[in-house]
Amino acid sequence: MSQITLQMLRTIIIDDDEIVTFLQRKIVSKTELDPDPYSFKDGQKALDFLAEEAGSDIDYLIMLDINMPKMDGWEFLRRLKEIPGNERFYVVMVTSSIDRKDKREAANDPHVVDFIEKPVSARHCSKLKGISKLSGYFEES
């Protein structure tokens, strides 16, 4: 009988709005996506964290705000590709923008698994568990 080891998936929330981050952390935890998600107000700090963690055996679901000061979500995505092992990073674009161009750009990025309009809901988080690239992390034994 073969033993299947479920890879661990941790969640990172990147948003410059503390209230949004607080609410997203609660929802991510409540829906059992991640009991204790990481959060960063600034994309550079998140990139530094991921670069340090790149050698580990943990995969990351990144809930990324598009519109942020200093570094927007698109710049973050470009820089994410420079981190070795970046194929283990799955990005959900989270935005208040309903710009079709943003949706098209997100759809063409291999790291982006979903595009969510704010506010993130429990239904969104539950839906993420069913996305083919992510569902293996949540299968019951």
Q: Is residue 139 part of a domain?
A: no
The secondary structure of 39-64 as a DSSP string is EESSHHHHHHHHHHHTTSSEEEEEEE
**Which bin fits 70, alpha (ψ -120 to 50), beta or left (φ > 0)?**
left
Summarize pLDDT for 70-106 with one digit per residue, the tens.
999 999 999 999 999 899 999 999 988 777 888 888 8
Domains in the chain: how many in total? 1
Give the position of tokens 């595009």: 115
The mean pLDDT value for 115-135 works out to 93
Report the pLDDT value the prediction gives residue 107, as an integer from 0 to 100: 86
**Which bin fits 42, alpha (ψ -120 to 50), beta or left (φ > 0)?**
beta
Q: Is residue 1 part of a domain?
A: no
Q: Is residue 50 part of a domain?
A: yes
Summarize pLDDT for 48-57 with one digit per residue, the tens.
999 998 777 8
Say which CATH number the domain at 18 has.
Answer: 3.40.50.2300
Q: Is residue 106 part of a domain?
A: yes
